[in-house]
Amino acid sequence: MVAQQRKTLNGELREMARYFHALKDILRLRILVTLAGSGEMTVTELARTLYVSQPLVSFHLRPLRVLGLVQVRRAGRELYCSVDIPEIQRRQDEFMEVLTEAAA
């Protein structure tokens, strides 16, 4: 039973590590903040707003998309991005729950 709980906790921690790793870059944080403030933007608009190249924005969007922190929809040739605030909140709550349980 204890071994199973430890295995589950290790899996949760591994997923949390992926989450925090995706947030480790200042540009990724700037992307999230910019999208949170604007609602939805194209990759091109994001690049212009952040004063970086479009390929660089695309590169940094990928880990955020894979983890579900950023949602993407395609309209023709344009990709529209928006931040998934509930998903970020869920992950933060999960992390706090693990810390709280460990402190108990």
- Please check the confidence at residue 55 and state whether its pLDDT lies above 60: yes
User: 60-79 pLDDT, tens per residue?
Assistant: 999 999 999 999 999 999 99
User: Given this model, what pLDDT does residue 61 score?
Assistant: 96
* Region 2-103: CATH code: 1.10.10.10
Please indicate whether residue 49 or residue 10 has the higher confidence score (pLDDT).
Answer: 49
- Please check the confidence at residue 1 and state whether its pLDDT lies above 70: no
Instruction: Tell me how many degrees the CA angle 6-7-9 measures, rounded to the nearest 5.
Output: 65
Helices 43-50 + 54-66 axis angle, to 10: 120
- Please check the confidence at residue 89 and state whether its pLDDT lies above 70: yes
User: 2-45 pLDDT, tens per residue?
Assistant: 555 666 678 888 999 999 999 999 999 999 999 999 999 999 99
The label of the residue with tokens 């700037």 reads 30
